[in-house]
Structure 1
Amino acid sequence: MEQQQDDSPQDTENETNTQQKTRKSVEASSENATSSSESSTTTEEATPASFSRLKLFEKVMQKSLENVIEFASFKRFVSTFRPLYKKNPQRMENIYKQFIEELKKAIQEDIVRLIEEGRLKTKLDELDKLEKASKSKTHAWRPSGIPEQDLCSFLMPFYQKQEAYMRLELKKIQAENAALTKKVLAGRERISHSEQHISEVVEDWKASLKESEKLVSSLKPDIIEA
């Protein structure tokens, strides 16, 4: 009994030591995996002019991924599979490392798929452009005190837009008319070809009919004599 009581603290101490070693190795690998992203984000933070919502979103997702990996610690993993860990600690350590790698890979693939399917890059870039446009200095319109000039300055852009729109519509209509005239001319040409072909067939038929009549008339005396 005394030996068993002496061995159990040693076993628990060995387990804690191996857990600490495994946790340190996993944390080191995760730090190496995220070092590149952190270095890029530090350079982005140093230059606020290059602010991008997409980069901020990627940074938040990376931080969330780190929190998930931290939550799925080796201690929790061992507490869940303690009987298997006692049988083969090294194998469970390898399984945990592989599990963490597969988990990170799956989450990163889901994030990339979310960005692509949701078209987040385009939408977030549009938001950045709108924000820049809203910050640009634009002078508000103020009346000059001359009603005629103010009315012209107010209505002229509207008329110019309407004129540009009408010109564009006119070009479209002209292009459609040109295409229709080409189709009509092509149809007329086909009709003329078909009429010419029909007339040629009729002439050939008339010529063959005359030849057959001549042949019949030449054969009539022979038939009468017979």
Structure 2
Amino acid sequence: MADKMEAEEGASSSEDAGTSQPAADTGAAPAQTGRLLIFNMLVEKFLKGLVEAGSYQRFARCYRKFYKIQPEITRSIYDQFVSQLHASINAEIQDIKDEGNLEALLESLDKLEREAGDRSEPQWRPSGIPEEDLCSHLVPYLLQQREYLRKLLKEKQQENAGLAVSVLAKREKIEMMRREIEKRQKAWQDLGQSQRELVLSLQGSGDTM
């Protein structure tokens, strides 16, 4: 009886690859390329290895007594277990991909690779010395900022020079207006003095008569 069970278990284990895997989705799925395709292939390979590690033969040995009584039900339970395990793991992996926006990140890496094209020049890589890496990135930025500040300072100096010329011209205009006012004030004072002298002279001549 035991030898017969082992033979049946061996025959069943040879069918695991064809019967224990869940049916493939027949819906039209978008074509996958690059890193996302590689990632999905690795996931499928992992799931396949996981299912093979938990073969029906090992499952039957763990439930030997039940297998001897109901081998067909044992097989059905195993198939359901593998199918649910496969679906559960896929769902967890999909949740991780959604939470980390993994598909978009992998596609962005593919896009960067495509944009790089056939560049032969070496790309920047960390040197392993944080201070040097920081300086290599910070110094060009600081030089750029310095050049920007110099340009801004030159523009402000030119603007201030124009304002100084404008202020000087207004001051000169104000000074000219002040002199004109003083000149007119003096003319009015001289005119008033002449009028007073004329009135006094007329009054003196009237008294002598």
The answer to whether TM tops 0.5 is no
Shorter-normalised TM range = 0.3 to 0.5
Higher-helix-fraction structure: 1
Report 1 or 2 for greater relative contact order, CA contacts < 8 Å, sequence distance ≥ 6. Answer: 2
Q: Larger radius of gyration, structure 1 or 2? A: 2
Q: TM-score, normalised on structure 2?
A: 0.41
